Amino acid sequence: MSKKQRLSASRRKLAMLIAMAAILFFWQCAAWTLPDFLMPGVPTVMLRLWHDVQTTQFRDVLAGSLGRLGVGYAFALLFGIGFGLVGGVLQFFREILKSAIIILQSIPSIAWVPLFLILMGFGNLPIIVVIALAAFFPAALSVMNATESVLQTHVSAARVMGANHWEMLRRVYLPAVMPELITGAQLAFGNAWRALISAEMLIGFGQGLGRSLAYSGETADMAGVMANILTIAILATLIDQVVLENIKRKVLRYQYV
């Protein structure tokens, strides 16, 4: 890692620490001005979270949410990237798909829950479909927008050399759209995570962070509410800034030289 890379990484870590400290500070200020039963302080919630983390129930809750997220997010990337690349080769299909996405993505993902509940019943399936739908739009759009910037000279050269549609996708479009594809995957994760928590709260099926948060609210357990919110924020940050960011840097290492 070069000196410039180390400096950039240090600045990102410092910015993250300052942001976290500011959030905790304002949270504690709110706790000082409100009764404990309305807004528990940071130490109280941290102690509650530490206790919860050591229980089997917490691990079941975490496994339930991450399992649904993994399946829904994987399907969203698979279809989003696939449809986006096909749209890069077939221009008329791209216009149709982009128009459909523009219409459908204006509908909040949580609005689909009642429909999917009627069609699929209670269970993991409607939650997974909501996650996949929420993450599909940014993944597909990022790839389709990137295909429009592919140099036509590369496309023409590949056609002259006799490349078929599959070879065009694999050898021309996929390498060219990789940076936007990774960025779109990160945007898709944000949508998928929010859809997961919202759907679990609304459907109330099985173990999950959203269901645990809703139950704490229903029982007026404010320490539990804040502990769940803190867990959701920490997990989302770790997945996005540690897991996905590291994958991004490995895939696009030539951009960080």
Containing domain of residue 203, as a range?
Answer: 42-150+177-256
Q: Does the residue 155 lie in any domain?
A: no
Q: Does the residue 222 lie in any domain?
A: yes
Of 257 and 1, more confident? 1
Residue 225 contacts residue 206 (beta carbons within 8 Å): no
3-class state of residue 161 by DSSP: coil
Q: Does the residue 113 lie in any domain?
A: yes
Please state which of the ranges 11-20, 157-166, 221-230, 241-250 shows the lowest mean pLDDT. Answer: 157-166
Q: Does the residue 114 lie in any domain?
A: yes
Q: Does the residue 118 lie in any domain?
A: yes
Q: What integer best gives the mean pLDDT of the chain?
A: 81
pLDDT at position 252 is: 67
Q: Does the residue 161 lie in any domain?
A: no
Q: pLDDT tens, 48-69?
A: 989 988 899 989 999 999 999 9
pLDDT at position 50 is: 92
Residue 168 contacts residue 89 (beta carbons within 8 Å): yes
pTM recorded for the entire structure: 0.81
pLDDT surpasses 80 at 158: no
Q: What CATH code is carried by the domain that includes residue 128?
A: 1.10.3720.10
Residue 66 contacts residue 213 (beta carbons within 8 Å): no
Question: Token pair of 91, please?
Answer: 């221009």
pLDDT at position 162 is: 60
Q: Is the dihedral of CA 120, 125, 127, 133 positive or negative?
A: negative
Domain count across the chain: 1
pLDDT at position 105 is: 82
- Report the distance separating Cα 82 and Cα 67, nearest Å: 23
* Reported confidence tier of residue 256, pLDDT bands at 50, 70, 90: very low
Q: pLDDT tens, 92-128?
A: 777 888 888 888 888 888 888 888 888 887 888 899 9
Q: Does the residue 26 lie in any domain?
A: no
Mean pLDDT of 9-20: 79
